[in-house]
Chains A and B, each alone.
Chain A
Amino acid sequence: MDADLELVGKARDGDMEAFEALVQRHQHRLVHFARLMVSNPADAEDVAQETLLRAYRALGQFRGQSAFRTWLYQIATNVARTHLAKRRDRHEVQEPEGAEGTTGDPGRERASGEDVEQRVIAHDQLRRALADLPGDWREAVVLRDIEGLDYKEIAALLGIPMGTVESRIFRGRQRLKATLKGATHD
């Protein structure tokens, strides 16, 4: 049973506080997902905000056939794709084919605590590694291995057969293995 359904119902009836509760419930993972999809931390919150705005506008179209979270990720995936396409048009990003990942944010967050610094380093490493994947592999891997959606949900969200999901995940993980192995030996 989707824990969000009650809030969605209220939000659909105009209850702003209900939608705000949904925003607070999903904001962190949504921003995290956006950050991994667009590989640019500065744009991640824009993507996440646009996702929530579109979700609000389209609440009447949500039928509950999938979990609300899955539906939200579907919107986020489309927003991220649009964002990346615009950046490609502006020649700000290229679809990787084994190219090195983008650099992180130099000088960002000179952490005051070692734990925070380690988290930043780990996240930058993750982001760079994922940026090295072609977009469709990255989507599948992030949705499965980071967001924890099952294969059926991912197939429905992306509109592709389950076998294709599995194939993209397989190839994405293999590529990540090579990238991380190469980074370790640097």
Chain B
Amino acid sequence: MTDNCAAFTSLLVRVADGTASAQEQSRLDAHIATCASCAAALDDQRGVHAWLRAQPVTGASWGFDTRVMASIRAEAEGHPGSWLDSLDFRRWTWRLVPVAAALVLAVVSVTGPDAAVQLETAPTVDSTTATDAWPVSSALWSDTVSESSLLSLMLSANADDTLAMHRKDQ
């Protein structure tokens, strides 16, 4: 192809795939009548275009759309992006605090008015009071047990433990 032929590139591709206008077709016809190189190029372009159009479409595997939608729905619903997110213990631990508080209130309410009396007369927890026999749960209504101590008791104590078992030596 000569430099002059480069001007016909556009026509060659369009005539080859049938998208050229009648005027463009005529222009190219006039050129290839005297240019064997472009005539051969047009044959090549037509042949490749036809071959490509005839190729089978190998599509998606079975279940592809289901997998795609599962991924999109998970993202849309704000699910954790990965299993690592679900192991973020800080996030789910704090979410349990209101649950724990609700359970405590439920226990107190279920035990009835007597429990309220017990609450009023519950001994305070201090180093001078005999507390060996008091259950660890008495710390819940004690006003001398600090919040950090209470949390520590809740996380480490067993139901049958007594306060004495967890009281720090002074």
Residues of A with Cβ closer than 8 Å to B?
Answer: 16, 19-20, 23-24, 27-32, 35, 45, 48-49, 52-53, 56, 119-120, 122-123, 126, 141, 144-146, 150-151, 163, 166-167, 169-170, 173-174, 176-177, 180
Known: A45-B64, A49-B68. A16 touches B59 (CB 8 A): no
Cross-chain contact B68 with A170 (CB below 8 angstroms): no
* For the complex of A and B, 7 pairs with smallest distance between CB atoms: A28-B59, A145-B52, A31-B60, A173-B48, A27-B60, A177-B44, A166-B10
Contacts of A150 in B (CB 8 A): 19
Cross-chain contact A16 with B73 (CB below 8 angstroms): yes
Known: A45-B61, A180-B51. A123 touches B10 (CB 8 A): no
Cross-chain contact A53 with B52 (CB below 8 angstroms): no
Q: Mark B10-39, 1 if CB is under 8 A from A, else 0.
A: 101110110100000000000000000000
Residues of B with Cβ closer than 8 Å to A?
Answer: 9-10, 12-14, 16-17, 19, 41, 44-45, 47-49, 51-53, 55-61, 64-65, 67-69, 71-73, 75-76
Q: Which chain B residue has the least Cβ–Cβ distance from A172?
A: B48
Cross-chain contact B64 with A27 (CB below 8 angstroms): yes
Contacts of B49 in A (CB 8 A): 145, 173
Q: Which chain A residue has the least Cβ–Cβ distance from B45?
A: A173
Q: Which chain A residue has the least Cβ–Cβ distance from B72?
A: A56
Cross-chain contact A163 with B10 (CB below 8 angstroms): yes
Contacts of A20 in B (CB 8 A): 65, 69
Cross-chain contact A31 with B69 (CB below 8 angstroms): no
The CA of A15 and the CA of B51, in the complex, are separated in Å by 40
How many whole Å from A74's CB to the nearest CB in chain B? 18
Contacts of A174 in B (CB 8 A): 41, 44-45, 48
The CA of A146 and the CA of B53, in the complex, are separated in Å by 6
Contacts of A163 in B (CB 8 A): 10
Known: A27-B65, A166-B14. A45 touches B52 (CB 8 A): no
Cross-chain contact A170 with B13 (CB below 8 angstroms): yes
Contacts of A141 in B (CB 8 A): 52
- Point out the residue from A53, A119, A169 that lies within 8 Å of B13, measured CB to CB: A169
Contacts of A180 in B (CB 8 A): 48, 51
Cross-chain contact B55 with A126 (CB below 8 angstroms): yes
**A-B contact sample (17 more), CB < 8 A, given A16-B69, A170-B13, A173-B48:** A20-B65, A27-B65, A28-B57, A28-B60, A35-B58, A49-B64, A49-B68, A53-B75, A120-B58, A122-B55, A126-B55, A146-B55, A166-B9, A166-B10, A166-B13, A170-B9, A177-B48
Cross-chain contact A146 with B52 (CB below 8 angstroms): yes
Cross-chain contact A48 with B64 (CB below 8 angstroms): yes
Q: Which chain A residue has the least Cβ–Cβ distance from B50?
A: A145
How many whole Å from A122's CB to the nearest CB in chain B? 6
Contacts of A52 in B (CB 8 A): 68, 72
